[in-house]
Structure 1
Amino acid sequence: MGWAMALLIWLHVVAAIAWIGESFYFVMLDNSLHPPDEAIAKQRGVFGELWAVHGGGFYHSQKYLVSPPRMPEDLHWSKWKSYVTWLSGFSLLIVMYLLQPGIYLIDPSVAALTPLTAAGAVLGFLLAGWLVYDTACRLLGARDLVLGIVIAAFVGVACYGSTHLFGAQAAFLIVGAMLGTIMTANVFFVIIPGQRKMVDALARGETPDPLPGKRGKQRSVHNTYFTLPVVFAMLSSHFSMLYGGRANWLALWLAMLGGALIRQYFVLRHTGRQDWKLPASAVAIFIGLIVAAAPAGRLGMAAPAEGAGAAVVKTAAIMPIIAARCAPCHAAHPRLMASAPAGIMFDTEAEIRGHAAVIEQQVVQVKAMPPGNVTHITKAERAAIGRWFDDGAK
């Protein structure tokens, strides 16, 4: 299982880098084109061109809105990187969450789901996300601003729904998986079929219908705005200060909004426009999240230790709590994991005291551990750990 996860994660990341890199490149290329200088290029139907230097050579890219005078036999299609990214990511979702729902996926304090119900809810979440998004695109058509607002609101609803169905850590990733599913579905159901219709019509000597191309272009633009939010969600297991808070759905939605604003800045920059309000707004959002995620933050995302002022709690007193609630994963020979996550172990008093700050943050402040409260830690036990830390972890 460990090797399956390691290799799938590696494949998923490599495929995603290739897909996102190619997507970013074509967005840059599309927005950096200039009308051709040579009259003969215009006569051939060249819409725009770009000269670039890279790797010791010069490159001359040209774009045809319809087709070049001769359709090349070796035509590159941008699809398999997207498909491999989704297939590897879905496989990871199965291995890490659906096959072991009690660890990360199900949190009884959020929703009392059975393993089968939780797995069905995850699959339904991915499917419903695509159906709602695709319906909105078809109904609103070319009304891009309205459509963008609707999609942003829908993502907010998805963030709220996911964090009220699943364990917090899984909830963040599932929203990212939903957006990633939408991106790949755009490629599979809209972009590639539209391009095939265009190529087939040109091969028959017919004038292609422009509508599939316009739809494909719109979905491609949506994909580029989804990219940074999806990457944030995929890495969110490292952000316990966000997913462990009471307003975690809002934190996720705001972080995704910040990512979209940053992406918009670079999209405009490729056209020669510098709108510094976009990254400045993103920075303001993340500063707000940092402030709010601190203990007793304005959004209530984290709370101070309960029961302060009671008798001094020493390490010996909390060792049984750690042994029962934390050591099932964090030990030299854990029983819930193949190995201790991040190599952190709590077998000895010295190891517990050495990780006092991490324990207090994860268990008391953001309550991200134990994941899904799989070991059933109580509020009183969390409060005892908080008092132990406040008393100096002696």
Structure 2
Amino acid sequence: MDMTLIETWAEFAVRWLHVVTGIAWIGSSFYFIALDLGLRPPLEPREGVKGEEWQVHGGGFYHIQKYLVAPERMPEDLVWFKWESYATWLSGFALLVLVYYLGADIFLIDPNVLDIPVWAGVLISLGSLAFGWIAYDQICKSKFGDDHAKLMIGLYAILVVIAFFYTHVFSGRAAMLHLGAFTATIMSANVFFIIMPNQRITVADLKAGRTPDPKYGIIAKQRSTHNNYLTLPVLFMMLSNHYPLAFASEWNWLIAALVFLMGVTIRHFFNTMHATKKLLWWTWGLTLLLFLAVMGLSLAPVQNMDWEEDAALTPRAERFAAAAGFEDVADLVINNCSMCHAPEPGVPGAGPVAPKGVRLDTPNWVAAHARDVYLQAGVTHAMPPGAYNYMTAEDRAMIVAWYRAAD
């Protein structure tokens, strides 16, 4: 049984689940923020009702009302929005384990950044996620958190510091991913530890005949607003691992800092539109300037990729380099793949650096990326692409035999 293929399909399945649950969570979050900002005074005033909105979708009309605190009586069919958040975080953490913990020597640790053992990298990863939530939560609960503007600026400063930290501990790819996981952990923990418990307190008070304290709703709304502004940067961080120009730049931590600002400018446009119907087009102009700055920083000399040196082989890569048939496979891959997967790709459109950060122009680099070669060019016909594909069935069989001899 080929464990590499099983692991790959497991990763695909978890990634699919993560995307699906993420869409559900982000969709409901964006909807309720837009709904809350778009509420208008009721046409027929009703005690306890803060605002209402009429909506049309799918051929039907909906009349939605929001109460200042809660209705007088708790409805039996109350719908809770929580599993979208929990499932997104759990599937994301499972993906972190599958890709970055089990594949730490490839994706997590880069000796050129910080030469640490795998176990230390995993502990730093876990510890940083826990630290992020504890620090954020304590700041929000402190007197500093009473001033919303100062709080947002303070939290942004923390995210920039964490971005700098990650980029000096992990590989560029892992640093961006961890910054996304760090932020997503705060968002999901907001739901689990603050928003849902506060809502449960309100429900319990209603059932007991007590008047709910509005402070619980105010606190939950603050955390929900934070989640709203953090969503788009998290998506960028999660997608960045496919683009070396984002994660391998010397200024990747500063790129991350600017991306968080873009999240603010974009959400400010939509939040203002929902609340006031005004279209603040200047926010898109500012977003464009920020994005151009990101592009400029990404074109600076890349980090973690010393194109003048060969790959330093890990014990796993050494095993593939010593396996039967490696010399023939290395020649095959170099002849068919190095026109793109090189420091300066020779194929138009391949990019200014090796696609996905994968270099295949020396035997050591082939051994270092053995799993990618096996999956992309051995088991499947994904690579080489289109008109550049000159590999025969025999060539691919040779790659498979070599990989399985060593795995």
Gaps of 5+ in 2: 1-6, 322-330, 367-407
Alignment of 1:132-147 (within 5 A): 132-139=135-142, 140-147=144-151
Task: Report the equivalent of 1:240.
Answer: 244
User: 2:42: which partner in 1?
Assistant: 36
Counterpart in 2 of 1:284?
Answer: 289
Percentage of pairs with the same residue? 42
**Secondary structure in structure 2 of the residue aligned to 1:246:** coil
Q: What secondary structure is seen at the aligned counterpart in 2 of 1:353?
A: coil
Asked if the contact 1:47–1:62 (Cα under 8 Å) also holds between the matched residues in 2, the reply is yes
Q: 1:204 to 1:259 in 2, by over 3 A?
A: same
1:46 matched to 2:32: no
Q: What is the CA deviation profile of residues 156-189 of structure 1, one whole-angstrom value per residue up to 9, with x for unaligned ones?
A: 0010000000011000000100100000100000
Match of 1:62 in 2: 65
Deviations 1:64-86 (A, max 9, x none): 11222432101111110000000
Q: 1:346–1:208: structure 2 CA closer, same or farther, 3 Å change rule?
A: farther
Query: Does structure 1 residue 91 correspond to structure 2 residue 91?
Result: no
Aligned length: 341
Aligned partner of 1:179 among 177, 183, 186:
183
SS of the equivalent of 2:185 reads: helix
1:315 maps to which residue? Answer: none
Q: Is the 8 A contact 1:245 1:366 kept in 2?
A: no
Give SS of 2:62's match.
strand
Q: Is the 8 A contact 2:39 2:53 kept in 1?
A: yes
SS of 1:257's equivalent in the other structure is helix
For 2:304 and 2:283, how far apart are their aligned partners in 1?
A: 32
Shift of 1:375: 5.2
Letter in 1 for 2:298: A
Letter matched to residue 5 of structure 1: E
- State the alpha-carbon separation in 1 of the partners of residues 332 and 178 from structure 2: 30
Summarize the alignment of residues 52-201 of structure 1 with structure 2, pairs less than 5 Å apart: 52-139=55-142, 140-201=144-205
Q: CA deviation at 1:21?
A: 0.1
TM-superposed CA distance for 1:18, in Å, is 0.2
* Aligned twin of 1:392: none
SS at match of 2:106: coil
Query: What is the CA–CA distance in structure 2 between the aligned matches of 1:104 and 1:305, rounded to whole Å?
Result: 16
Aligned residue number for residue 347 of structure 1 = 333
For 1:225, the equivalent position in structure 2 comes to 229
How far did residue 141 of structure 1 move? Answer: 3.0
Cα deviation per residue 1:217-247 (whole Å; 9 max; x = unaligned)? 1000000011001010011112211211111
* Residue 47 of structure 1: how far off its partner (Å): 1.1
| Superposed displacement of residue 100, structure 1 | 1.6
Which amino acid in 1 is paired with 2:75? P
Letter in 2 for 1:347: V
Name the counterpart of 1:380: none
Give TM-score scaled by structure 1 length.
Answer: 0.79
State the match for 2:206 in structure 1.
Answer: 202
2:75 alignment partner, SS class: coil
Map 1:373-392 → 2, pairs under 5 A? none
Contact 1:305 1:364 in 2 (8 A): no
In the alignment, is the contact (CA less than 8 A) between 2:38 and 2:274 conserved in 1?
Answer: yes
Counterpart Cα distance in 1 of 2:307 and 2:118 = 32
> Which amino acid in structure 1 is aligned with residue 158 of structure 2?
F
Q: Is the 8 A contact 1:232 1:256 kept in 2?
A: no
Question: What is the CA distance between 1:261 and its match in structure 2?
Answer: 1.6
Q: What amino acid does structure 2 have at the position aligned with 1:121?
A: I
Distance in 2 (alpha carbons) for counterparts of 1:240 and 1:203: 54
Instruction: Determine the C-alpha separation between the residues in 2 that align with 1:305 and 1:214.
Output: 51
Task: Note if contact 1:242-1:301 (Cα within 8 Å) is conserved in structure 2.
Answer: no
Rate the CA distance shift 1:79–1:36 in 2: closer, same or farther, 3 A: same
Inter-partner Cα distance in structure 1 for 2:124 and 2:305: 33
Aligned residue for 2:215? Answer: 211
Q: Measure the CA separation in 2 of the matches of 1:49 and 1:24.
A: 17
Return 5+ residue gaps in structure 1 as ranges: 308-317, 336-344, 378-394
Q: Specify whether residues 303 and 238 from structure 1 end up closer, same or farther in structure 2 by C-alpha distance, changes over 3 A only.
A: closer
Measured after TM superposition, the shift of residue 3 of structure 1 is 1.2
Coordinate RMSD, CA, aligned: 3.2
Work out whether residues 240 and 362 of structure 1, in 8 Å CA contact, stay in contact via their aligned partners in 2.
no
- Where 1:238 maps in the other structure, the secondary structure is coil
Distance 2:354 2:173 in 1: 15
Indicate the residue corresponding to 2:3 in structure 1.
Answer: none
CA contact (8 A) 2:40 2:52 kept: yes
On the 8 A contact 1:268/1:275 being kept in 2, the answer is yes
1:18 is aligned, of 11, 21, 24, to 24
Segments of 4+ in structure 1 off by > 6 A?
Answer: 302-307, 359-363
Q: Deviations over 1:318-348 (max 9, x none)?
A: 9xx79x98xx99xxxx88xxxxxxxxx9626
Counterpart residue number, 1:340 = none
Change over 3 Å in CA distance of 1:306–1:109 after alignment to 2: closer
How much does 1:367 deviate? Answer: 9.9
